[in-house]
C-alpha cells in the first residue's frame, strides 16, 4: 500500500508540472480533413505513375481512420495490398519495407512542393505502418524520411526521477481492474451491441453518406437490384444444337493458333474440334457487376431492407414504377437505362467512352479507358454513379456503371464502403443549396486497375442533375 501511495504521489507531482512548448500539440484533424488530404495526395504529381504507392497509402490511411487502435502488421499489408500468398515471410521478402520507405520519400517530396501550403500532415513514421495525422503550422519544415528520432533532449532533472518499475506495477493493476469492469459492461450490454451492429449500415447510409442511401433506406418501397446481361460470345461445345452451330462464328487458322496457345491448359481446349464462337445475349454478366451486386445486397440486407433481383433483359416499365431500382452496368448492358426522359451531363458513347456534355472548368470533354500498350491489359477505367428519379418522382434509380466491368465494381464499392461514403458526402455538401443536398446527381470516378481488379477510385467530378420531364 505504501509503495502504491508513493507512486500515486509521484504521478500527481508529474501531472502538476507545466507542459513544455513542444508538448502543447494541436488537436488531431477531423476524419473529413484526413480523407480530403488523402484525396489531394493521391491525385498529386508526386504519386503520379506510382500506382503501388497510391494503393499502399490509401490502405494505410483508411485502416488507421477506421480504427485508431489498429496495429498494422507487415504480413497483413503484404497479403492484402501486394498480393503475397499466405506463406509470406518478411525475413526473405522486403516488399513492404521497401515500398514504405519509398512512400515516405514521396510524401516528403509532396510536402516540399505541391503540399507546402497544406494544413494537414499525413505521416508514416519509421518503425511501424500506422499513419499519424497532425496540423501543420505556418512555415513548419516537414521531415518524413528521418531514420532516427532527434537526440538533442535536455537531461531530466534529478528531482523528477522516480521508480519506473513501481509505476508500471500500479499501471498494470489499474489495467486489470479496468478490464474486469469492461467484461462486466460488455456482458450486460451484449444485446444492445448486436442491435447497434445491425443498425450500423443504416446509420452510415443516412448520416455518413448524406443523401446517397436515404431514398432507399428511409421509405417502405422495395428495392430491385438489376444485373446486366451484356451480349458476349462464348465457346461452342459438343452439347450445342446444330441450329446454334450454324449461326456460330468460325475462327481463322491464325486465331485458332493464338487461342490454343493462350488457353492450352483450359478445359475448353480438350475438345476434339476447334471451338467456335456462339452469341450468348442472356447467359452472362461481368465479374465487376457480380461483386458490386454482392456489396449492395449485403448493405441493404444489413439495414433490414427486402430486395428483389432481376436480369436486365427482363425489367419492365411496371418494375420501374413500383420499385426503387439499383442497376449495375452501363447502357452497353442495360439498354433501357439510357431511355428514361432525364437529361444527364455524363453519357456513354458508342466509342466506349464517357462524354461530358456539360464540362466545368478543369474537366475534359471525353474520358476513355487506358491500356497497357504491350499486353493490352486494362490499367485505367472510369465509372459513373448516377442517381435520378425513376419513371415517376416517387421512385429513385441508382445506376452504378463503368466503361468496363472494373469501373462498375469501383462504383459499387464507392457507395458501400464507409470511408468512400464520407468523401462522397463531403463533396455533395459542397453542392448544397437552399433546399439542402442535391437529390439527383452524377459522380465521375477515375479507377486504377491492376490485374483486372480496381485498386483505387477517386472523384473527378460531381454534377447536380436538374430534373425536367418532357
Residue with cell string 481446349: 269
Cβ–Cβ < 8 Å for 369, 351: no
Q: All 3 cell numbers of residue 25?
A: 500539440
- The closest of 332, 432, 434, 328 to 386, measured between CA atoms, is 328
State the Cα–Cα distance between residues 55 and 82, nearest whole angstrom. Answer: 9
Confidence check: pLDDT of 169 > 70: no
pLDDT band at 333 (very low <50, low <70, confident <90, very high): low
**How confident is the model over 50-106, as pLDDT tens digits?**
788 888 998 898 888 887 777 888 998 988 888 788 888 888 888 899 899 999 999
* CA separation, residue 62 to residues 9, 44, 112, 198, 204 (Å): 41, 18, 24, 22, 16
Cβ–Cβ < 8 Å for 202, 303: yes
* CA separation, residue 53 to residues 109, 145, 452, 456 (Å): 13, 15, 18, 11
Q: H or E element: which one contains 381?
A: strand 378-389
The contacts found for 72-79 with CB under 8 angstroms, 24 or more apart, are 72/128, 72/129, 72/130, 73/129, 74/129, 77/129
According to DSSP, residue 327 is labeled E
Parallel/antiparallel/unpaired status of strands 453-464 and 441-450? antiparallel
Three-class SS state of 66: helix
Q: How far apart are the first and last CA of the chain?
A: 84
State the Cα–Cα distance between residues 352 and 375, nearest whole angstrom. Answer: 19
State the Cα–Cα distance between residues 209 and 417, nearest whole angstrom. Answer: 10
Cβ–Cβ < 8 Å for 375, 367: no
Mean pLDDT over 372-399 rounds to 89
Q: All 3 cell numbers of residue 145?
A: 524520411
- The closest of 204, 205, 199 to 217, measured between CA atoms, is 205
Task: State the Rg of the chain over Cα.
Answer: 28
Three-class SS state of 278: strand
Q: Whole-model pTM above 0.75?
A: no
- Average pLDDT of the chain to the nearest whole number: 78
State the Cα–Cα distance between residues 386 and 166, nearest whole angstrom. Answer: 62
Torsion of CA 443, 35, 73, 448, to 10 degrees: 30
The pLDDT, as a whole number, for residue 178 is 67
pLDDT band at 214 (very low <50, low <70, confident <90, very high): confident
**How confident is the model over 173-211, as pLDDT tens digits?**
666 666 666 555 454 444 443 333 333 334 333 434 457
State the Cα–Cα distance between residues 380 and 213, nearest whole angstrom. Answer: 27
Amino acid at each position: 500500500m505504501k509503495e502504491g501511495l508513493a507512486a500515486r504521489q509521484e504521478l500527481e507531482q508529474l501531472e502538476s508540472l507545466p507542459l513544455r512548448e513542444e508538448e502543447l500539440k494541436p488537436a488531431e484533424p477531423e476524419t473529413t480533413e484526413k480523407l480530403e488530404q488523402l484525396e489531394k495526395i493521391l491525385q498529386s504529381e508526386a504519386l503520379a505513375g506510382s500506382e503501388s504507392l497510391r494503393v499502399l497509402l490509401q490502405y494505410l490511411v483508411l485502416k488507421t481512420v477506421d480504427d485508431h487502435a489498429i496495429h498494422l502488421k507487415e504480413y497483413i499489408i503484404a497479403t492484402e495490398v501486394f498480393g503475397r500468398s499466405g506463406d509470406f515471410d518478411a525475413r526473405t521478402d522486403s516488399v513492404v519495407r521497401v515500398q514504405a520507405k519509398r512512400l515516405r520519400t514521396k510524401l516528403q517530396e509532396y510536402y516540399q512542393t505541391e503540399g507546402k501550403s497544406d494544413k494537414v500532415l499525413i505521416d508514416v513514421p519509421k518503425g511501424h505502418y500506422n499513419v499519424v495525422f497532425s496540423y501543420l503550422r505556418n512555415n513548419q519544415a516537414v521531415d518524413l524520411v528521418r531514420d532516427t528520432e532527434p537526440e538533442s533532449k535536455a537531461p531530466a532533472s534529478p528531482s523528477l526521477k522516480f521508480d519506473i518499475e513501481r509505476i508500471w506495477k500500479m499501471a498494470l493493476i489499474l489495467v486489470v481492474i479496468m478490464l474486469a469492469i469492461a467484461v462486466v459492461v460488455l456482458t450486460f450490454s451484449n444485446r444492445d451491441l448486436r442491435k447497434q451492429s445491425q443498425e450500423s449500415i443504416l446509420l452510415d447510409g443516412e448520416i455518413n453518406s448524406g443523401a446517397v442511401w436515404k431514398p432507399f433506406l428511409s421509405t417502405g418501397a422495395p428495392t430491385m437490384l438489376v444485373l446486366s446481361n451484356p451480349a458476349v460470345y462464348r465457346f461452342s461445345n459438343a452439347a450445342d444444337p446444330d441450329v446454334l452451330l450454324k449461326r456460330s462464328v468460325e475462327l481463322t487458322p491464325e486465331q485458332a493458333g493464338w487461342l490454343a496457345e493462350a488457353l492450352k491448359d483450359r478445359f475448353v481446349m480438350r475438345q476434339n474440334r476447334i471451338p467456335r464462337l456462339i452469341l450468348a445475349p442472356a447467359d452472362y454478366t461481368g465479374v465487376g457487376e457480380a461483386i458490386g451486386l454482392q456489396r449492395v445486397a449485403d448493405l441493404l440486407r444489413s439495414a433490414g431492407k427486402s430486395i428483389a433481383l432481376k436480369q436486365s433483359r427482363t425489367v419492365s416499365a411496371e418494375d420501374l414504377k413500383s420499385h426503387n431500382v439499383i442497376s449495375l452496368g452501363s447502357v452497353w448492358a442495360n439498354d433501357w437505362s439510357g431511355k428514361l426522359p432525364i437529361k444527364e451531363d455524363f453519357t456513354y458513347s458508342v466509342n466506349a467512352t464517357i462524354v461530358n456534355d456539360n464540362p466545368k472548368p478543369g474537366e475534359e470533354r471525353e474520358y476513355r479507358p487506358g491500356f497497357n500498350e504491350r499486353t493490352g491489359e486494362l490499367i485505367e477505367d472510369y465509372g459513373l454513379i448516377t442517381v435520378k428519379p425513376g419513371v415517376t418522382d416517387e421512385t429513385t434509380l441508382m445506376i452504378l456503371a463503368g466503361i468496363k466491368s472494373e469501373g462498375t465494381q469501383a462504383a459499387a464499392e464507392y457507395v458501400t464502403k464507409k470511408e468512400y461514403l464520407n468523401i462522397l458526402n463531403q463533396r455533395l455538401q459542397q453542392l448544397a443549396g437552399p433546399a439542402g443536398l442535391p437529390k439527383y446527381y452524377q459522380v465521375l470516378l477515375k479507377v486504377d486497375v491492376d490485374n483486372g481488379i480496381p485498386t483505387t477510385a477517386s472523384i473527378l467530378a460531381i454534377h447536380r442533375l436538374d430534373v425536367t420531364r418532357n
